[in-house]
Chain A
Amino acid sequence: MSTAAYDVAIVGAGIVGAACAHECARRGMRVVLVDRDAIGAGATAAGMGHIVVMDDSEAQFALTRYSQRLWQELRPELPDDAEYEQCGTIWVAADDEEMAEVRRKHKYYGEREVATEVLDGEALHTLEPNLHSGMKGGLLVSEDGVLYPPCAARFCAERAQELGAKFRLGSSVQDIGQGQVVLSDGSEIRAEFVVNAAGASAPALTPGLEIKKRKGHLVITDRYPGFVRHQLVELGYLKSAHSVSSDSVAFNVQPRRTGQVLIGSSRQYGAEHREVDHGILVQMLQRAQEYMPGLGQMSTVRTWTGFRAATPDKLPLIGPSTVDRSVWLATGHEGLGITTSLGTARILADQMTGAQPEIPIEPYLPSRVGKEQVHA
């Protein structure tokens, strides 16, 4: 049995945990980062790596925008294998109703100093000639980007390590609480704060957490450079992400720097097994083919699944747990973990050190759960 004293023990070395490790280490805290697997091997490895502003709620916008800015600041320091590209997002409108949504978003973002451009059908076709020609138009958000998450997570973790953080990888965690992380081999790690950044596995460590697994599927093609230039998302995606109970698919494709095309997306509740769900995969790919018919002939090389950590109000939990004062939460990021990881880390570290957060943090506090929400 061995014990060690740290200021912060972070359980979960995905992008959120790794970003938190870096941020805490940067502020002079003694950090240990624990994971049952390698760095970035969970949802971080499965996700699309899309850095995107979202406007589902004021709080979601604030966190994604803040965090996106942090990624832009970090960009010059990112290693080449993090593959950061500011390729922009185009929200694709297939009909007039969706074009109205395009204009609403354009106005919303304009009021908040996010540069966007309304594209008519022709402009859209010029930017993305492989989109089905019947699209009505779209919204270009040029500051959005993409990156390769496992390497970005590794970078954050290594930065933390350079500042003195320690790793305990390949170590399964049995229990956290009362200033301890208990590993499956019986050993304990003592820390003033224990951060639960375990994503979809967070409820196993902090019972009662209202986090549900939301399974997603992804498919990647062989190299077809230039086929798609921006991250393309159908506006119907928002309907899919909104739904709290039913399975859904939405068109969502991303150009990888390798020239491969990454194809998503799907959401399922209640699916616990990791295997590819053939029925959902077929739906997702048929949807993709409707938007980009050229995808049909492309060689696909891999499919995989992942579990997002979803909260009932679609906002992450960032802050002290209401149950155990030594346990802090940095989890529940659903499909925005990559984007909001850096902002999450800042907000968490601010709270721990008593520093003033740069955005209002009430919407993300674990203590909000059970209280009435006020949406903008």
Chain B
Amino acid sequence: MTRVACHKFDVLVVGAGPAGMAAAACAGECGVRVGLVDDNFRLGGQIWRSESAGGPVPEAAGWLERLRAARVDPLCGVRVFDAPDPGVLLAETADDPCELQYDQLILATGARERFLPFPGWTLPNVMGAGGLQALVKNGLPIRGKRVVVAGTGPLLLAVASHLRKHGAELAMVCEQASWDRLARFGIALAGQPGKIVQALQLKKDLAGVRFATSSWPVAAEGKNVLESVSISRRGKSETLACDYLSCGFHLVPNTELACLLGCQIECDFVRVDDFQRTSIPEVFCAGEPTGIGGVGLALVEGQIAGLVSGRRVAKARDLFAQRKKLRNFAAALAGAFQLRAELRDLPSAETAICRCEDVPYSRLLRYPSWRAAKLQTRCGMGPCQGRICGPATQFLFDWTPDSVRPPIFPARMESLAALASSPEPEQQAVTGGH
């Protein structure tokens, strides 16, 4: 029988990005026993991913210190795959299954990039915007390499800036949003001074880089690996030789665990009340799964959830005004980076839509629903469990995804087959990184 570690917490936070770290720190400071779990080998989530060879990003340092001081128990390399009963999550590490018991749960599961298919998007060295950035942070040399950054969203500029700082040659940054929309978004920034500073800094970082709006990739070309990208700009096509294409179309929320728990979902996001509570008792949600709003909003929502779970409701209320302002920013974000209709025409008949099962666009056209397509073509049945092709098909065909079943992340069979090792849960030693 497999050994199953069992951890019990008053408050369990799933996801150690900004929202999760803030929630865990605040809950911990209330004196309750807090656990913080994340699939990654380090804390920080995506946006605060540290360079592998270095220390944590400066923005995260303060929160890390607060976590340490509050004696929060971080468990890295832990993947939640099931929620069989209220108060219990099942997870696994690289080696063993584990059971996480909680009185209150804070979901801070973040977001992932939206990928839209176009011819050649499956070539090696075509990656997400955050995808390439993550690989660079994890040791990929980028100095002297030619990169095209494309897609949509504030992430593009952040990634372009980061890559440039590491010596990449930026051939072009292609934003599909129109200049009009971006301008309106810029005006929305006026209410967020911190963001203006950020924007100005980015402008400085990217001085001299070709930046095009109303522009998107139409094809990635190359024999076995990426060699060039053709982009559309003002009705004309331009081909750029490059080593990497860093391409992502904004973010979609990771709501799988929330769905599995039965939380109410509205317009693809987890519905929460003023106290970040979901429709399920004792389950909170903070950060991107409630609405894509960036780091600032994630931190505030995380703090509110953490404080409420620690019964410091008055202190949580103090943050409401700040949250309101940041939610305005989130709404502006959504408006600015809406996907344009032309992007639906990008795939050719042979373009793979489901990468796991290699299902081309032409095979999917005839099906009226995600489910019918899935059963007949296997689209969405691969290990990514529809995380990549789901948002793409939702945009291309207006398909709505299936209901969520465990495992919400591929897990070893022995983990699915595991029972808790004993009825009395024991507290395990802290094993996580920083």
Do chains A and B make direct contact within the complex (CB under 8 angstroms)? yes
A interface residues, Cβ below 8 angstroms from B? 37-41, 45, 81, 150-151, 154, 170, 219, 221-222, 258, 263, 275-276, 278, 281-282, 285-286, 288-289, 295-304
Per the bound structure, the CA–CA distance linking A354 and B143 in Å amounts to 80
Q: Which one, B368, B375, B377, B383, contacts A45 given CB within 8 A?
A: B375
Closest to A285 in B: B417
Shortest beta-carbon contacts, A-B, top 9: A285-B417, A296-B414, A38-B372, A278-B84, A150-B375, A299-B410, A286-B417, A295-B413, A301-B410
A38–B375 contact, CB under 8 A? yes
Per the bound structure, the CA–CA distance linking A285 and B406 in Å amounts to 14
Q: Which one, B368, B381, B406, contacts A303 given CB within 8 A?
A: B406
Q: Which one, B375, B383, B405, B412, contacts A276 given CB within 8 A?
A: B405
Q: What's the count of A-B pairs with C-beta under 8 Å?
A: 88
Closest to B378 in A: A258
B411–A299 contact, CB under 8 A? yes
With known contacts A298-B412, A299-B383, A303-B405, A282–B417 Cβ distance under 8 A? yes
Question: Does B199 touch A at the CB level, under 8 Å?
Answer: no
Closest to A292 in B: B413
Chain B 387-422, CB-CB to A under 8 Å as 1, else 0, gives: 000000000000000000111001111101111000
B376–A302 contact, CB under 8 A? no
A302–B411 contact, CB under 8 A? no
Per the bound structure, the CA–CA distance linking A286 and B419 in Å amounts to 10
Closest to A277 in B: B84
B369–A300 contact, CB under 8 A? no
Question: Does B2 touch A at the CB level, under 8 Å?
Answer: yes
B98 to chain A, nearest CB (A): 15
Q: Which one, A45, A154, A170, A282, contacts B416 given CB within 8 A?
A: A282
B371–A276 contact, CB under 8 A? no
Q: Which one, A39, A276, A281, A302, contacts B385 given CB within 8 A?
A: A302
Instruction: Tell me which residues from 193 to 234 in chain B have a Cβ below 8 Å from any Cβ of chain A.
Output: none
Per the bound structure, the CA–CA distance linking A150 and B406 in Å amounts to 22
Per the bound structure, the CA–CA distance linking A40 and B410 in Å amounts to 26
B85–A296 contact, CB under 8 A? no
A45 to chain B, nearest CB (A): 5
With known contacts A150-B376, A278-B82, A282-B419, A221–B371 Cβ distance under 8 A? no
Per the bound structure, the CA–CA distance linking A290 and B159 in Å amounts to 49
A43 to chain B, nearest CB (A): 12
B412–A300 contact, CB under 8 A? yes
Can you give 22 A-B contacts (C-beta < 8 A)?
A38-B367, A81-B376, A81-B377, A170-B368, A222-B410, A263-B413, A278-B85, A282-B416, A282-B418, A282-B419, A286-B417, A295-B413, A296-B417, A297-B414, A298-B413, A299-B383, A299-B410, A300-B413, A300-B416, A301-B382, A302-B385, A304-B405
A300–B411 contact, CB under 8 A? yes
B416 partner residues in chain A, CB cutoff 8 A = 219, 281-282, 285, 300, 303
A300 partner residues in chain B, CB cutoff 8 A = 407, 410-413, 416
With known contacts A276-B405, A285-B417, A40–B412 Cβ distance under 8 A? no
B381 partner residues in chain A, CB cutoff 8 A = 301-302
Per the bound structure, the CA–CA distance linking A81 and B407 in Å amounts to 26
A38–B371 contact, CB under 8 A? yes
B382 partner residues in chain A, CB cutoff 8 A = 301
B378 partner residues in chain A, CB cutoff 8 A = 258
A37 partner residues in chain B, CB cutoff 8 A = 371-372
Q: Which one, B367, B385, B419, contacts A301 given CB within 8 A?
A: B385
With known contacts A278-B85, A301-B383, A302-B405, A219–B413 Cβ distance under 8 A? yes
B85–A41 contact, CB under 8 A? no
Closest to A279 in B: B84
Closest to B381 in A: A302
Q: Which one, B84, B369, B385, B412, contacts A38 given CB within 8 A?
A: B369
A41 partner residues in chain B, CB cutoff 8 A = 371-372, 375
Known: A41-B371, A303-B407. 19 other contacts (CB 8 A): A38-B372, A39-B372, A221-B413, A276-B406, A281-B416, A282-B416, A282-B418, A285-B413, A285-B417, A296-B2, A296-B413, A296-B414, A297-B414, A299-B413, A300-B410, A302-B381, A302-B385, A302-B405, A303-B416
